[in-house]
Structure 1
Amino acid sequence: MLPDSDQAKAEPFCADRIGFAKLTAMAFNGVDLRPLRDELIAKVVGGTAGPGEGLDLSLIAQLLGEKATGLSIQAEVLGFHQLFRSPCSAEPPRLRVLALAAAIDMGGNTPIEFLLEESGIELKTLYVMPGIDLPLPDHDVAIVIASDSDECHEALRIIDEMAPRWPRPMLNAPRLVCHLDRDKLHRLLQGVVGLDIPATICATSAQLADVAQENLSPAYIAAELAFPLIVRPRGSHAGVGLAKIDDRAAIGRYLAERTEQEFFVSRFVDYANEDGLFRKYRVVFVAGKPYACHMAIADRWDIWYLNAGMSDSASKRLEEETFMRTFDFGFARRHATALAGMAERIGLDYFTIDCAENKFGDLLIFEADNTAVVHNMDSPELFPYKPPQMRKIFEAFAAMLMHRAREGRERAA
């Protein structure tokens, strides 16, 4: 339930924590997190750990590859406490932001701490739990950071029910977040001029097995499908279970290694350039305006920035730097119609896309997301062009929050 909106009640207790940004940066930079983990475990065993330390322990376990343990700790902590405060670079803060999160693994909520880390904006995160009254603190603006994942749907439903009565401006409306699911996004964006977004079809393991065993065409599942296919387990992220399927025999081999019962299937698009390399872009939208986030170049279609070898290639980094420096009058102008149409259809205040350019010059959309990692952790010595670009995104995000908060105060007056 939503508490009284007059904020007359005493402020609920907000547990301080080390936070997502600092702990993730430590892991990214190769810091051994095990001593900190052991220190926090000792506090838990001794009964002196607070809820913030418990949530930090949950994240550390996940960063160390112990996902099940981390989620178990998180569930225990969130069962008795839901409100947390991240470190703030200014006192008093310029603005107070409340992030509305779901109880999911570390990749399931917008990593908003990276966006606000040096902003002087206070961030409190409230985990929306079914059956638990929300301990609502005073704030200037709220933003939904839960994702479109199945595990977040109940939290999004609860927030959506409360949204019309929310006492402050709320960004990233939950009903719009739900449209980012892979099998909904292509329908939402269908017809946008200059976009190529393959239909994503939900298929069961039984349907895929039928294609493999009964000598059937992929069109048996949906008319849009033909070999080669891209397949991934429904609800998976970060490339888990992602594969290119060239024929029926490959389906059989794929299913033999998977235990999931539902999959997303789409047609494969060969987006390699004439030099044989694939180029994948991440673009960030803040208040409808696109910003360059990164560019990955590799000789494989399934690119992630970390597997593209950008650190090992000066020529790749030069191309990424050019992409960033010329973005506004290059990439963004070239795809202006597609980017504007997509921003309008999706309607979120903040989201990202992973995309490429197909052989006809259209913008090929892989996914849109509100939880992709947008960070400034890369080495400034190796990537000197990145910090200015990331600061541009962070400043735009902070400015958007300030603007929406000011609009809310003006309406209230």
Structure 2
Amino acid sequence: MTAYSESLLMNQYLAPSAAHPSPLPALLGRTAELLGSGAYDTAIDLLLSERQLVRGEPMACNTLAYLLIQVERPQESIDWFETCLRLRPDDMQALTGLAIALRSTGDAEQALRCYDRAIALRPDDAMLWYKRGALQADLRRLPEALSSLDRSLALKGDHVEAFVKRSHVLEALGDMPSATDSAARACLLEPGEASHWSALGDLLQKNGDLNQSIAAYERALTISSEDAACLANLGGALKLAGRPEEALERGRAALAIEPGNQQALLLCGGLEIHFGRAEAARDNFLGAAQGGIACSYPAKVQPADFKALMLFSPFAGNTPYEDLISDARFDSNLVIVLENHRYDTAALTEAADVVVNLISDADLGLQMIGSLGELVASLRKPVVNHPSLIIATDRQTMSRRLATVPGVVMPKTLRIDAPELLRRLNGGESHPFPLIIRHAGTHGGEKMEVVSGPDEMRDFAQQAGDHPLYLTDFVDYRSADGFFRKYRLIFVGAAIFPYHLAIGDSWKVHHISTRMGELQWMRDEEKAFLEEPGRFFSTEAMAALDMIRRIVNLDYFGIDCSVDANGKVIVFEVNATMLIHLHNEGFEYKTPHVIKIKAAFEQLLRKRASDVSAA
């Protein structure tokens, strides 16, 4: 119930009664007339002109106090509610009104005490338990909030607001099935309320139940067809379900209703890239960039400890950030960075205590490093992963920078455009084989092969068109048991954290494509690596990793590597585009180690945010 609707409760005090001595009935009667004409300020002035008379009557104190809330003067209302309670300590209207006023002024703890007093007087009042639970939820006292909301529903089983709030609390507690169930109950109780179906769609989408999520959004849109946010959410679910054409249609429909809808702009921009329409994509992303903050991710506990401004480019490779910042104690604000676009730096500065550069692929992001550097300089805030440090992390440059590090095997890498490679091959130039050939700017094994001769290389280059390529010396990193092992470690500040071990049957190893989900011994070995990386990397190898950290000099990045028979670190890739995630079904032993990386990242940002001299 809003402050406005609660203020209507004061009307019961406005009817003059013969039991009251004059001039109170006349005063309240005149106040009622003013309220009827919407003259709230005049009514307040009238009551304040008879301050002494009002202070002696609980009903008059409540009337004035609720009026002050109505005109957004809650601090002044507190005194009048407290005056009423001194006259009548069990006045329920004064207790609940005081709770509203205290909450409005930021004193949530005192507001909660008011609800506790009210519940002690009326323990069977479902609305009071709901309000108490809602306030506890705002204070992030989630188990207590859940208990209060459950009590409210025990007293009033069809209390829709309590089901909605309970769903939010359960989601925050991580109990997604129960959160979804509560959201569904709200839909059953009020099937004509579009917001309930839309909220259910959000939860189902987060659960990965895309078909049910799509159905819930579509139900919401049959009730409210002009809901741009719901259309954008439906588009997102359709995109995840592998239905990009329909997703783009919904995104465009959302923009037709609300041209500045950030979620729809980002959705359409990404889909236009998917369909190869770069100009249309840029138009959408430009709209998102002009809106300032494209996405906000509030801290798990409010108020947040600090604010991080995340710089993201849809046309370049970025550090995967969603799981890295989830459930953090800082607010994250995402900005879309476009080449040559000018930003309202004053507004962005307000949204940042520390700037985090997510644009981390030196191949894809090189053209915009200049614009990115200008933006970072204009913000005058401490920066994590400064763009100037990204330039030297492409595969060719890293192969040169790490070539002489003791204890490291760094395969030689050459970057070359496909037409130039063809020209050299046709001119008779020879190369040592086998070689790994790949498209620059790709990850995850995409468009990457081992070639054993010039004909295979020529075929690959011809298919690449004008795309730049990397040629890398192939190192057979097979272990003694015949399996290939690829370790991923994450560097956060001065610390090195194990993230995963992928064990495969062939040289192109990626965790998702291995048989590790089937073979227990592989999972046991990965778990051992995560718990005791020193068993797998000798003291010399760990020293080599630390030397790599010092050379790369980024605040946050990762390495994919192996270990040869001599204990040397074979480096495959070093950059800040490495993925970490919390979706570890079947590999739950990984999650505590991801949480350690997240905690170290948050501590890094916290320290940098407090270091004003680093700006």
| Per-residue Cα deviation, 1:377-397 (whole angstroms, up to 9, x for no partner) | 121xx2121111110000000
SS of 2:578's equivalent? Answer: coil
The answer to which of 71-80 and 81-90 deviates more is 71-80
CA-CA distance at 1:211 after TM superposition = 6.3
User: d(CA) in 2 for partners of 1:336 and 1:363?
Assistant: 9
Paired with 1:172 and 1:399, the residues of 2 have a C-alpha distance of: 15
In the TM superposition, what are the counterparts of 1:10-409 in structure 2 within 5 Å? 29=208, 31=210, 33-34=237-238, 37=247, 39-47=250-258, 50-59=261-270, 61=271, 67-68=274-275, 74-82=281-289, 83-88=293-298, 89-104=300-315, 108-135=317-344, 136-138=348-350, 139-161=352-374, 163-164=376-377, 166-209=379-422, 213=426, 216-218=429-431, 226-327=432-533, 330-331=536-537, 333=539, 335-379=541-585, 382-408=586-612
Residue 81 of structure 1: SS of its match in structure 2? helix
Task: Assess if the C-alpha contact under 8 Å between 1:51 and 1:77 holds in 2.
Answer: no
Change (3 A) 1:407 1:211: closer
Moved more, 137-146 or 205-214: 205-214
Partner Cα separation in structure 2 for residue 246 and residue 347 of structure 1: 35
The higher-RCO structure (CA 8 Å, 6+ apart) is: 1
More divergent stretch after superposition (326-335 vs 176-185): 326-335
AA at the equivalent of 2:514: A
Task: Percent identity, please.
Answer: 25
Partner letter of residue 173 of structure 1?
H
Rounded to whole Å, the distance in 2 between the matches of 1:129 and 1:330 is: 43
SS in 1 for 2:573: strand
**Partner of 1:312: helix, strand, or coil?**
coil
Residues 231-280 of structure 1, C-alpha deviations (whole Å, 9 max, x = no match): 11223333222110112232233334332443111110000001110000
Answer yes or no: is the 8 Å Cα contact 2:434–2:451 preserved in 1.
yes
In the superposition, relative to structure 1, how do residues 341 and 350 fare at CA in structure 2: closer, same or farther (>3 Å)?
Answer: same
Q: Tell me the SS of whatever aligns to 2:611.
A: helix
The aligned amino acid for 1:217 is: S
Tell me the matched-pair count.
Answer: 373
Please tell me whether the aligned partners of residues 211 and 248 of structure 1 are also in contact (alpha carbons under 8 angstroms). no
With the length of structure 2 as denominator, give the TM-score of the two structures: 0.56
Cα contact 1:357–1:364 (8 A) shared by 2 = yes
The superposition leaves residues 104-128 of structure 1 with CA deviations (integer Å, 9 ceiling, x where unpaired) of 16xx111222111111321111222
Q: Greater helix percent: which structure?
A: 2
1:100 is displaced (CA, Å) by: 1.7
The alignment partner of 2:294 has SS state of: strand
Residues 483, 504 of structure 2: 8 Å contact kept: yes
Task: Classify the secondary structure of the residue corresponding to 1:133.
Answer: coil
Structure 1 residue 72: deviation in Å? 5.7
When residues 43 and 290 of structure 1 are mapped into structure 2, their CA distance, relative to the original with a 3 A threshold, is same
Q: Residue 7 of structure 1 corresponds to which residue in structure 2?
A: none
Code of the aligned partner of 1:360: N
Deviation at 1:290, TM superposition (A): 0.9
Q: 3-state DSSP class of the match of 2:287?
A: coil
Give yes or no for contact 2:492–2:601 (8 Å, CA) kept in 1: yes
Following superposition, the deviation at residue 39 of structure 1 comes to 4.5
SS at match of 2:497: strand
Change (3 A) 1:277 1:260: farther
1:369 is displaced (CA, Å) by 1.6
**Are the structure 2 counterparts of residues 44 and 286 from structure 1 closer, same or farther at C-alpha, using a change threshold of 3 Å?**
same
2:45 aligns to what?
none
| Whole-angstrom CA distance in 2 between matches of 1:316 and 1:117 | 29
Distance across 1 between alignment mates of 2:421 and 2:591: 45
Distance verdict in 2 for CA 1:140–1:332, change over 3 Å? farther
* 1:59-112 Cα deviation digits (max 9, x unpaired): 4x48xxx7236866642222223222233223222220001222316xx11122
SS of residue in 1 equivalent to 2:446: coil
Q: CA 1:327/1:28 → structure 2, altered by over 3 Å: closer, same or farther? A: farther
Q: Distance in 1 between matches of 2:421 and 2:597?
A: 42
Residues in 2 aligned to 1:233 and 1:291: alpha-carbon distance in whole angstroms: 29
Change over 3 Å in CA distance of 1:74–1:363 after alignment to 2: same
Note closer, same or farther for the CA distance 1:150–1:247 as it changes in structure 2 (3 Å cut): closer
User: Which letter maps to 2:320?
Assistant: P
Q: Offset of 1:288 from its aligned partner?
A: 2.4
Distance in 2, matches of 1:251 and 1:28, equals 44
Measured in 2, the distance between the counterparts of 1:356 and 1:160 equals 34
* Cα distance change of structure 1 residues 330 and 270 upon mapping to structure 2, 3 Å threshold: closer
In structure 2, give the amino acid aligned to 1:403.
Answer: K
